[in-house]
Amino acid sequence: MNWQRWAASVFAALVLPASAQTGGGAAGTANPPKTSTDATDNQESLRGAMLVSFLHQANLREIDMARLVKTKSDSPQISRFVDELLTDHQAMDDQLVTFAKDRGIDLEAVRARVQADIEQQWEERRTKAVGSATGEWAFTAEPRVDPEVARLAMTKFRASQDKLRTLTGAALSREFVQAVIDDHQMVIDRTSRALARINDPEVKGLVGKLLPVFKRHLTEAQGLQDRLSKS
């Protein structure tokens, strides 16, 4: 699958608002042939949309995990951290959803397209059964990310979530904090790499406000992990 060709031909149908998909004025004539500049612009727009979608899904994961731990933990320091995560990730997600709406980005369409692309990559490799790629898009912030990387990240997150459901007390606290560290580090790393390839000042401005929150959470979780290890 050629990514540039896909970006040029599919992005408008999946992401751009309907008003941007038609051309030719009142007569409704067909759009002119796309130029290399059009394809570049579409790819740039798609990269921004994918990063916004990636961060949206990251927030949803953190909110779900924090809610789970909130119902199980009896640790005051864990409860305080959970409340902070819930407040911050909900606030960040509200900004992302508003941004997507204002830009005409269909987050569900982006999610579905990236998932389909990962499945296509698995099909292309044919090194093993494709299986279900459901959810793996959540770990993809850039076009054509290695599907094995996405699969391993998703597997690790799911295993951590399943384990949290079985734990209580100090074991729950330790597993939760480690999960927060792992997920936030992954988001920071992939967002930083994706951001380096984006030129859109509005996307860069939004992500530039959100990324420090993920970094703060990571630092706090690492400090909390250190205190838990000494208790």
Domain limits for position 73: 3-15+36-125+146-230
pLDDT at 115: 74
Q: Quick one: pLDDT band at residue 122, thresholds 50, 70, 90?
A: low
Within-domain flag for 27: no
pTM of the model: 0.75
Residue 209 pLDDT > 80: yes
pLDDT at 5: 40
pLDDT at 202: 96
Within-domain flag for 45: yes
pLDDT digits (tens, 9 = 90+) for 147-206: 566 666 667 778 889 999 999 999 999 999 999 999 999 999 999 999 998 999 999 999
Within-domain flag for 134: no
Joined together, the tokens standing for residue 229 give 């290890």
Within-domain flag for 130: no
* 205 Cβ contact partners less than 8 Å away, ≥ 6 residues apart: none
Within-domain flag for 25: no
On whether the CB atoms of residues 92 and 210 are closer than 8 A, the answer is yes
Query: Count of domains in the chain?
Result: 1
pLDDT at 229: 92
Instruction: Spell out the SS3 assignment of 57-120.
Output: HHHHHHHHHHHHHHCCCCCHHHHHHHHHHHHHHHHHHHHHHHHHHHHCCCHHHHHHHHHHHHHH
Within-domain flag for 41: yes
Within-domain flag for 44: yes
pLDDT digits (tens, 9 = 90+) for 53-107: 999 999 999 999 999 999 999 999 999 999 999 999 999 999 999 999 999 999 9
Q: 14-23 long-range CB contacts below 8 Å, 24 or more apart? A: 14/106, 14/109, 14/110, 14/112, 14/113, 15/45, 15/46, 15/49, 15/104, 15/105, 15/106, 15/109, 15/110, 16/45, 16/104, 17/104, 20/104
- CATH code (residue 118): 1.20.1260.10
Within-domain flag for 140: no
pLDDT at 141: 61
